[in-house]
Structure 1
Amino acid sequence: MFQNLFRNIPTVTKNLLIINVIFFIATFLFQSRGIDLKEMLGMHYPSSPYFEPYQIVTHFFMHANIMHIFFNMFALVIIGSQLERVWGEKRYLIFYLITALGAAFLYGAVQAFEIYNLTGELFPTIDIFNVEIVGNSIQYRIEPNLPGYDAVSRIYLGTSLGASGAIYGLLTAFAMLFPNTEFMLLFPPIPIKAKWMAIGLGAIALYSGFQNNPGDSVAHFAHLGGMLFGFILVKIWQKKTDSFY
């Protein structure tokens, strides 16, 4: 049964699924050898000492845990497969990559706004905070007196990872193209139309993002970024009926 299901997944969706699973397995294999791929391949703030340019791409193939990758890949197969069949391989892949990068862009812009409010600079070096990094933690050389230094620590040491931004983009596109198609929720097990699911999840992400709960590790603005760029891209394609891309 699973073999037939896997065979019926379109090419690009199947390859994205395989790549994500490979990255996930590699994360645990390397972790057992003392190598933290989440830190290496997850996205860091551009002026963080842990930032590397390749993280702009690698971060959306990384996942935090089994539930994180399960729900993202489940949505990828269910929603992405249908969109790939409608759009074709090339347009679908372009959409996936643009929404994933758009999610990272909006999330980074929100972080930059937060940093700017604290320091007056968009990309200050870590030295401006009179701190030094020891291992994976910030140690203050003097008693911290910068308002919001906890936020600084979270942004400069934190990582963002996962395909959720692209997945939210796919959901947005699906809701725009097939608004009345019903999904069956897992919790609770009730049917819901695609348009209401997209609006509901978008509203939750927006509310949670502005709540800015310190204990919340979910990158809500990345979800919103994927939805925003997905919405814009679908609108552009709907207007350009004479061009496939």
Structure 2
Amino acid sequence: MNQYRQSPFANLTPVVKNLLIINVIFYLASRFLIPANIFDSYGNFSAYYFDSPFFKPWQIITYMFMHDPRDIMHILGNMFALFIFGPALEGMMGSKRFFNFYFICGIGALFCNMAVQAFEVHNLIGTFTVSSQTVADPIVIVKIREIYGSQILGASGAIFGVLIAFAMLFPDVELMLIFLPIPIKAKYFVTIYVLFELFSGVRQSQGDSVAHFAHIGGALFGFIMIKIWGLNRRDNHYY
């Protein structure tokens, strides 16, 4: 046995490594270290609809580092995808550009989700805010409260940007998935995944709390950024 076997974390690129660390710190601190009666980290750092009384400007960034405390797979899934796909992208783009790419995708994901929420609010009351509206219909009130009180949290939007970028820049890399034990090229896997998220968002199943349109938004912004920057696998200059 090789006692000098290299650590799986040895080849992590700087931005990916720091994003992993920060996400884990946020999760552990919010889940175990900070009592909710002292500071409501999930209420303050998760994001809300822009007209919600719970919305704060810093949530545009902080929501990306918050994950569902009731489902450890939420953070594990996101961090595993970042761990697997992030280093190749950072190595190709360079750390500065990858940093910008990650956060642009995450912010874009939130804006897309808010746009869908705004569309839903407008369909209910005819405007995008309730500040000047008197709502009497109890069914509409319940739906408005759900929109205004729902939290958006997690790195998934930014991760979908990472996935779409990987599929565009490394389309023929074959992936082996636990639930699909045959190799599938990145371009096919990511395309199917994005289409599934779009279908799930449009369908809006009862009890589904996943922000599917945030995922779509992250993928959309990732696609746009790769096109704007004109990146391809032949690039030999990094930033």
Contact 1:118 1:147 (8 Å CA) reproduced: no
Match of 2:107 among 97, 101, 106: 101
After superposition, the Cα gap between the structure-2 partners of 1:37 and 1:3, relative to the gap in structure 1 and judged at 3 Å, is farther
Tell whether 2:34 aligns with 1:28: no
Give 1:49 shift. Answer: 1.1
Q: Within 5 Å, give how 1:25-174 maps onto structure 2.
A: 25-30=28-33, 32-34=35-37, 35-64=39-68, 65-125=71-131, 128=133, 145-174=137-166
Superposition TM-score, scaled by structure 1 size: 0.87
Contact 1:30 1:36 (8 Å CA) reproduced: no
**Counterpart amino acid of 1:28?**
R
In the aligned structure 2, how far is the partner of 1:212 from the partner of 1:150?
17
**Counterpart amino acid of 2:86?**
G
Deviation digits for residues 82-129 of structure 1 (CA, Å, limit 9, x no counterpart): 10011110110111011001100100000001001111111223x845
After superposition, the Cα gap between the structure-2 partners of 1:205 and 1:2, relative to the gap in structure 1 and judged at 3 Å, is farther
Tell whether 2:31 aligns with 1:18: no
Give 1:151 shift. Answer: 2.6
Which residue number in structure 2 is paired with residue 4 of structure 1?
7
Give 1:239 shift. Answer: 7.3
After superposition, the Cα gap between the structure-2 partners of 1:189 and 1:129, relative to the gap in structure 1 and judged at 3 Å, is farther
Contact 1:129 1:146 (8 Å CA) reproduced: no
Displacement over 4 Å in runs of 4+ = none
Q: Percent sequence identity over matched residues?
A: 48
Query: Mean alpha-carbon deviation: is it higher for 179-188 or for 168-177?
Result: 179-188
Deviation digits for residues 119-149 of structure 1 (CA, Å, limit 9, x no counterpart): 1111223x8455xxxxxxxxxxxxx625543
Q: State the aligned residue count.
A: 231
**Counterpart amino acid of 1:40?**
N
Give 1:36 shift. Answer: 2.9
Give 1:5 shift. Answer: 2.0
Stretches of structure 1 lacking an aligned partner (at least 5 in a row): 131-143
**Counterpart amino acid of 2:48?**
H
What SS does structure 2 have at the residue aligned with 1:179? coil
Query: Mean alpha-carbon deviation: is it higher for 42-51 or for 230-239?
Result: 230-239
Match of 2:198 among 177, 181, 206: 206
Deviation digits for residues 10-61 of structure 1 (CA, Å, limit 9, x no counterpart): 0000000000000000111355453431111100111111111111110011
Give 1:2 shift. Answer: 9.8
Contact 2:170 2:186 (8 Å CA) reproduced: yes
Contact 2:169 2:231 (8 Å CA) reproduced: no
**Counterpart amino acid of 2:54?**
Y
In the aligned structure 2, how far is the partner of 1:22 from the partner of 1:192?
33
Contact 2:92 2:238 (8 Å CA) reproduced: no
Which residue number in structure 2 is paired with residue 176 of structure 1?
168
